[in-house]
Structure 1
């Protein structure tokens, strides 16, 4: 890469190298065209891509609808490496652009615009990256029309978009290729994280129900049954290992709520303050110091949001605090079990109505399986290690996304130039 850029000029897209142009999109395309307005269904021959399938630069192939209309398919069938643009929806969703890479035959719906670029002037992958820059997102908001809650950018306005154009089409291709390599890395990381998540979920279901035992706990280690595989028994929670117990949560942990005098303070403080479904900082001193699991008693996230903490913190009166873990239960094992089974159990207790609030007795009466504490710790350690591995991968994913954003800003503004092969520049006069 070459960061030398001695001369530049100001354009509608921003500061560009002196040998780059800034042209309106309309000068670089044959035309732009609206998609199909025919009805689609959950079954059919060909997917109809909609605004919901548009992400930042790529297509999400989940939640598809289909058509079997031969006329519509013939008229709106997409060609590989076609850029699509979302022309209407909320202010935040209008202007999303993505490239169709020929993943499978598809047509596009009426709220999308297909950009038919002139390939000798504009590389479609390069265009896709340009349309997802911060500069273009700002331009979206500048020119969109808003009626009530619906925003719109029509084809004519789309043609006014400022596009930075390097002097050689090969430079566009090189930029697109470099960014595509990062996208490939992001995709592989996302797949790996999804795989690790699936393994963790399956492992939790097996280990927390005793369907799979860790080797050191699966067989008897002494007495007449030494070496014999442990059996199962019936319980209120179904079949469980014969050496496990089932207890009510209220009999193995303490359950309390915060003081009614607690005041929500959004100032920066020393200790975390748990208030319903959020974590904010509190200026007051803490009211608890130790190992605990917390869940919201009402509001957004009721029955679904949980925290594990071992330290000093304060908490709101409508947050339930479970603590005082003794010889029979490990705190982190309880957190993993509770956060995985609590919501479904609560829903069953409320006759499948929505959970507006949780009463203390709902928690206290919930049943939990109890292996030996030694097995609980071993299980929690394995699952925690899996979680830490996933978190490390997610941090790497976040960092790679940040790197990509930085590369886009550098490459698509010419601040950093990629070296081109000598014969490529010589073909254009050796400039």
Structure 2
């Protein structure tokens, strides 16, 4: 058999890596220091000792944690005991995850200064006493495809996946020379800063839009008022569980998809491939549950009060069969008194949300009935003003959408950079 060679690279148990790179396990590179075991219920907001909870590693932080600019929970000084205080450049790893993607997720600690911070429940605190890892590089170790593959293979558990200290002895990291680590960390950190700037811009634009909506959608003296029941025919959807849905049949609007959407409308033609389907004869579906262009669909159940008024406006010019589903309330306009674009925004008005919350009943799940929805007051301006309001808010949405597209591309580019740079396929030397 012919021996395969790759100039400048060596073959290891992980695959091909640059010949001047090393393989080191987590236990070889790092010392393990003591961590606390306080639960979320033990934490406060105004105490001296800051605390890193493993849940926040999964949900709030990526790659690096800037202590100076982060609002960490805290514990009182008398709970510090003998736990190790974090130092600049330490690595904190979550040892438990609810999914494979989160296994081994870690953050490198920056800007500690003289602040007292400890690592908490379900974390490993790792310190490189031998200075074999460059500042900024450690935070990306778990994103190395070679490392992620090993974590996937070692993860144990059913509902929660975990890694142990003993397992980390078996996880090997392809380690470049220090100068290349610094170059890689700089390139990835530059991309992270660009991504953060886009995220901050999106947040700013959303706040501006929120203020504009508050101003534009608050009822004025010359606006007309009607009860929902006066201007809409209110009906329910066809009940089918998520398990009954597939890729075959007719488009089906599940209330969970309304809750999960970050938009206030669905374009059936453009999004046809992503809409779940129900394989059923249309003869079994009431015409009241078949969604036409301009129909509004509200959820009738939510796990929190914020979701009680969640809705979606249907754009369906081709009249593709679209079934409103389980836990939905369909509002079909009796007359064309609302501009389609305006509909996407007017039901987000504060006074509308407050009325839905007033009528909501339930304990663990809050719900509104069709009879309650009919009693909700709707204020609306003349058609010309509706069109203008719709244009202004649509323009803001388009701007946010365009920045989101830039963000998506930047995230993909960074993913590609990590796959290339952290494996040595592309060198920064």
> Which category of TM-score, normalised to the shorter sequence, fits these structures?
0.7 to 0.9
- Structure 2 residue aligned with 1:66, among 56, 74, 81? 74
Counterpart for residue 350 of structure 1: 360
Compared CA separation, residues 194 and 324, structure 1 to 2 (3 A): same
- Structure 1 residue aligned with 2:405, among 395, 409, 412? 395
Helix, strand or coil at the partner of 2:136: helix
Tell me how far apart the structure 2 counterparts of residues 123 and 172 of structure 1 sit (CA, whole Å).
6
Tell whether 2:283 aligns with 1:280: no
1:94-115 CA-partner distances (Å, limit 9, x unpaired): 4220111126732222432221
Contact 1:34 1:112 in 2 (8 A): no
Contact 2:53 2:120 in 1 (8 A): yes
Counterpart for residue 324 of structure 2: 316
Tell whether 2:88 aligns with 1:80: yes
1:246-273 CA-partner distances (Å, limit 9, x unpaired): 221222233334467999552246x743
CA deviation after TM superposition for structure 1 residue 354, in Å: 5.2
CA deviation after TM superposition for structure 1 residue 345, in Å: 2.1
TM-score by length of 2: 0.78
Tell whether 2:379 aligns with 1:374: no
Contact 1:23 1:163 in 2 (8 A): yes
Contact 2:108 2:138 in 1 (8 A): no
How well do the aligned residues superpose, as a CA RMSD in angstroms?
Answer: 3.2
Tell me how far apart the structure 1 counterparts of residues 383 and 126 of structure 2 sit (CA, whole Å).
62
Counterpart for residue 429 of structure 1: none
Counterpart for residue 200 of structure 2: 191
Compared CA separation, residues 26 and 194, structure 1 to 2 (3 A): same
- Structure 1 residue aligned with 2:312, among 304, 307, 323? 307
Tell whether 2:338 aligns with 1:337: no
Counterpart for residue 247 of structure 2: 267
Compared CA separation, residues 399 and 281, structure 1 to 2 (3 A): farther
CA deviation after TM superposition for structure 1 residue 401, in Å: 0.8
Aligned pairs for 1:285-300 within 5 A? 287-298=290-301
Tell me how far apart the structure 1 counterparts of residues 252 and 169 of structure 2 sit (CA, whole Å).
50
Contact 1:85 1:114 in 2 (8 A): yes
1:330-361 CA-partner distances (Å, limit 9, x unpaired): 23323312244555422211357455543222
Aligned pairs for 1:206-285 within 5 A? 206-209=215-218, 240-258=219-237, 265-268=245-248, 272-278=251-257, 279-282=275-278
TM-score by length of 1: 0.77
Contact 1:291 1:323 in 2 (8 A): yes
In structure 2, runs of 5+ residues without a counterpart are 1-5, 258-274, 283-289
1:41-65 CA-partner distances (Å, limit 9, x unpaired): 3331131111022134234987742
Aligned pairs for 1:136-215 within 5 A? 136-146=147-157, 149-166=159-176, 168-209=177-218
Helix, strand or coil at the partner of 1:290: coil
Helix, strand or coil at the partner of 2:211: helix
Contact 1:34 1:111 in 2 (8 A): no
Counterpart for residue 17 of structure 1: 18
CA deviation after TM superposition for structure 1 residue 66, in Å: 1.1
Contact 1:46 1:107 in 2 (8 A): yes
Compared CA separation, residues 43 and 328, structure 1 to 2 (3 A): same
Helix, strand or coil at the partner of 1:406: helix
In structure 1, runs of 5+ residues without a counterpart are 210-239, 420-431
Tell me how far apart the structure 2 counterparts of residues 272 and 300 of structure 1 sit (CA, whole Å).
25
Contact 1:35 1:76 in 2 (8 A): yes
Helix, strand or coil at the partner of 1:78: coil
Tell me how far apart the structure 2 counterparts of residues 71 and 184 of structure 1 sit (CA, whole Å).
35
Compared CA separation, residues 118 and 325, structure 1 to 2 (3 A): farther
Helix, strand or coil at the partner of 1:81: coil
Contact 1:53 1:62 in 2 (8 A): no
- Structure 2 residue aligned with 1:128, among 139, 149, 153? 139
**Is 126-135 or 44-53 further displaced after alignment?**
126-135
Contact 1:347 1:354 in 2 (8 A): no
Tell me how far apart the structure 2 counterparts of residues 100 and 359 of structure 1 sit (CA, whole Å).
50
Contact 2:51 2:72 in 1 (8 A): yes
1:212-231 CA-partner distances (Å, limit 9, x unpaired): xxxxxxxxxxxxxxxxxxxx
Tell me how far apart the structure 1 counterparts of residues 380 and 149 of structure 2 sit (CA, whole Å).
56
